[in-house]
A and B are shown apart, each in its own frame.
Chain A
Amino acid sequence: MSARHSVVIRLAGESGEGVISSGDILTQAAARGGYYTQTFRTFPAEIKGGPCMYQFRLSDEPIWSHGKDVDLLVCFNQEAWDLNWDSLGPDGVILYDVTEVTVPEEYLPRARPVRMEALAKEIGGSLRAKNMVAVGAVTGVIEFDTTPIEELVLRRFAHKEGVGQANIAALHAGSDEAADLKGRYPLVPPVEVDEDRMLISGNQAIAIGAVAAGVKYFAGYPITPASDILEWLSVRLPQVGGITIQCEDEIASLASVVGASYAGVKAMTATSGPGLSLMSELIGYAGTAEIPVVIVNAQRGGPSTGLPTKTEQSDLNQALYGSHGDAPRIVMAPVSVEDCFFAIIDAFNYAEQYQVPVILLTDQGLATRLEVIHRPDVSKLTLTPRKTSKGMAREDYKRYEYTADHVSPMGIPGEPNGMYVATGIEHDEYGHPAYTPEIHLNMSHKRWDKLDPLRTEARQAAHGETQPTDVAFIGFGSTFGPVREAIDRLTELGMSVGSFYPRVLAPFPAQAVIDFVADARRVIVPELNFTGQLARLIKAETGIELESVAQCNGLPFTAEAIMDLVTQEVAV
Chain B
Amino acid sequence: MSTRKPSDFKSELKPIWCPGCGDFGVLASLYRSMADLDLDPTQTVVVSGIGCSSRLPHFVSTYGIHTLHGRPLPVAMGVKLANPELTVIAVGGDGDGFAIGAGHFPHAARRNVDITYLVMDNEIYGLTKGQASPTSQFQQKAPTTPFGNPEDPLNTLAFALSAGASFVARGASFNTKALTELITQAIEHKGFAYIDAMSPCVVFNNTQNLWKETVTDVAPDHDVTDRVAAFDLALRGGFTLGILYRQERLSQTERYQAILEKAKVSDVDTMLNAFNARQGVAIGKPS
- A residues near B (Cβ < 8 Å) are 24, 27-29, 31-32, 34, 148, 152, 155, 196-200, 204, 208, 211-212, 216-217, 219, 231-232, 235-236, 238-241, 243, 245, 247-249, 251-253, 255-265, 267, 281-282, 285, 289, 370, 372, 375-376, 378, 411, 413-416, 419-425, 432-433
The CA-CA distance from A54 to B136 in the complex, in Å, is 57
Shortest beta-carbon distance from A480 to chain B in Å: 21
The CA-CA distance from A205 to B71 in the complex, in Å, is 31
B66 touches A423 (CB 8 A): yes
By CB atoms of chain A within 10 A, which of B75, B76, B86, B264 has the most? B75
Q: Which residues of A contact B77 (CB under 8 A)?
A: 252, 256, 259
Q: Which residues of A contact B272 (CB under 8 A)?
A: 198, 208, 375-376, 378
A204 touches B65 (CB 8 A): no
Segment from B39-47, B186-194, B203-211 that makes contact with A: B39-47
Contact A419:B67 (CB < 8 A) given known A208-B271, A255-B74: no
B31-85 residues with Cβ-Cβ distance < 8 A to A are 41-47, 55, 57-58, 61-68, 71, 73-83, 85
The CA-CA distance from A240 to B259 in the complex, in Å, is 12
Contact A248:B67 (CB < 8 A) given known A239-B263, A413-B79, A432-B13: no
By CB atoms of chain B within 10 A, which of A24, A155, A252, A260 has the most? A252
Segment from B167-175, B217-225, B230-238, B273-281 that makes contact with A: B273-281
- Let me know if B284 is at the binding interface, CB within 8 A: yes
Closest to A253 in B: B74
Q: B-side binding surface: helix, strand, loop or mixed?
A: mixed
Q: Which residues of B contact A208 (CB under 8 A)?
A: 268, 271-272, 275
Shortest beta-carbon distance from B40 to chain A in Å: 9
Q: Which residues of B contact A155 (CB under 8 A)?
A: 281
Closest to B66 in A: A423
Contact A217:B74 (CB < 8 A) given known A200-B282, A252-B107, A255-B67: no
Shortest beta-carbon distance from B212 to chain A in Å: 32
- Let me know if B248 is at the binding interface, CB within 8 A: no
The CA-CA distance from A208 to B57 in the complex, in Å, is 37
The CA-CA distance from A155 to B67 in the complex, in Å, is 50
Closest to B85 in A: A414
B269 touches A378 (CB 8 A): yes
Closest to B77 in A: A256
Q: Which residues of A contact B83 (CB under 8 A)?
A: 263-265, 413-414
By CB atoms of chain A within 10 A, which of B55, B58, B256, B264 has the most? B58
A256 touches B264 (CB 8 A): no
Q: List 10 A-B contacts (CB under 8 A).
A: A24-B284, A199-B282, A204-B282, A208-B272, A217-B81, A235-B286, A243-B256, A255-B75, A281-B68, A419-B63
Out of B66, B85, B266, B279, name the residue touching A32 (CB < 8 Å). B279
Q: Which residues of B contact A28 (CB under 8 A)?
A: 280, 283
Interface size class of B (residues with CB under 8 A): 35 or more
The CA-CA distance from A263 to B83 in the complex, in Å, is 7
Contact A238:B280 (CB < 8 A) given known A252-B107, A262-B79: no
Q: Which residues of A contact B1 (CB under 8 A)?
A: none
Shortest beta-carbon distance from A288 to chain B in Å: 10
The CA-CA distance from A532 to B141 in the complex, in Å, is 51
Q: Which residues of B contact A252 (CB under 8 A)?
A: 71, 73-74, 77, 103-104, 107
Contact A263:B78 (CB < 8 A) given known A255-B68, A420-B63: yes
The CA-CA distance from A219 to B68 in the complex, in Å, is 18
Q: Which residues of B contact A34 (CB under 8 A)?
A: 278
A248 touches B107 (CB 8 A): yes
Closest to A200 in B: B275
Contact A152:B280 (CB < 8 A) given known A199-B275, A239-B263, A263-B86: yes
Shortest beta-carbon distance from A52 to chain B in Å: 15
- B residues near A (Cβ < 8 Å) are 13, 41-47, 55, 57-58, 61-68, 71, 73-83, 85-86, 103-104, 107, 256, 259-260, 262-269, 271-272, 275-286
> What 7 pairs between A and B have smallest CB-CB spacing?
A259-B78, A256-B78, A421-B64, A238-B263, A255-B74, A239-B266, A260-B82
Out of A211, A231, A375, A420, name the residue touching B286 (CB < 8 Å). A231
Closest to B43 in A: A414
Out of A31, A200, A255, A264, name the residue touching B71 (CB < 8 Å). A255
Contact A419:B45 (CB < 8 A) given known A231-B286, A251-B74, A378-B269: no
The CA-CA distance from A216 to B260 in the complex, in Å, is 12
A258 touches B67 (CB 8 A): yes
Shortest beta-carbon distance from A36 to chain B in Å: 9
Shortest beta-carbon distance from B251 to chain A in Å: 14
Shortest beta-carbon distance from B65 to chain A in Å: 4
Q: Which residues of B contact A433 (CB under 8 A)?
A: 55, 58
Shortest beta-carbon distance from B42 to chain A in Å: 5
B74 touches A247 (CB 8 A): yes
The CA-CA distance from A432 to B44 in the complex, in Å, is 18
A240 touches B278 (CB 8 A): no
Out of A196, A236, A421, name the residue touching B271 (CB < 8 Å). A236
B280 touches A31 (CB 8 A): yes
A255-B104, A432-B13 known; 20 new pairs, CB 8 Å cut-off, are A32-B277, A32-B280, A198-B272, A199-B276, A208-B268, A211-B271, A235-B286, A239-B263, A239-B266, A251-B74, A255-B67, A259-B78, A259-B82, A262-B78, A282-B71, A375-B272, A378-B272, A416-B42, A421-B63, A424-B66
Q: Which residues of B contact A247 (CB under 8 A)?
A: 74, 107
Out of A31, A232, A378, A421, name the residue touching B66 (CB < 8 Å). A421
B268 touches A378 (CB 8 A): yes
Out of A152, A235, A267, A419, name the residue touching B78 (CB < 8 Å). A267
Closest to A257 in B: B78
Q: Which residues of A contact B285 (CB under 8 A)?
A: 231
B41 touches A419 (CB 8 A): yes
By CB atoms of chain B within 10 A, which of A200, A241, A245, A255 has the most? A255
Shortest beta-carbon distance from B91 to chain A in Å: 12
B275 touches A236 (CB 8 A): no
Q: Which residues of B contact A248 (CB under 8 A)?
A: 103-104, 107
Closest to A156 in B: B284
Contact A219:B275 (CB < 8 A) given known A31-B280, A249-B103, A252-B107: no
The CA-CA distance from A199 to B274 in the complex, in Å, is 9
Out of B41, B58, B71, B263, name the residue touching A251 (CB < 8 Å). B71
The CA-CA distance from A279 to B137 in the complex, in Å, is 33
Contact A421:B280 (CB < 8 A) given known A198-B272, A236-B266, A255-B71: no
A419 touches B74 (CB 8 A): no
Contact A219:B283 (CB < 8 A) given known A241-B260, A413-B83: no
Q: Which residues of A contact B79 (CB under 8 A)?
A: 259-260, 262-263, 413
Q: Which residues of B contact A420 (CB under 8 A)?
A: 63-64
Closest to B279 in A: A32
Q: Which residues of A contact B71 (CB under 8 A)?
A: 251-252, 255, 282
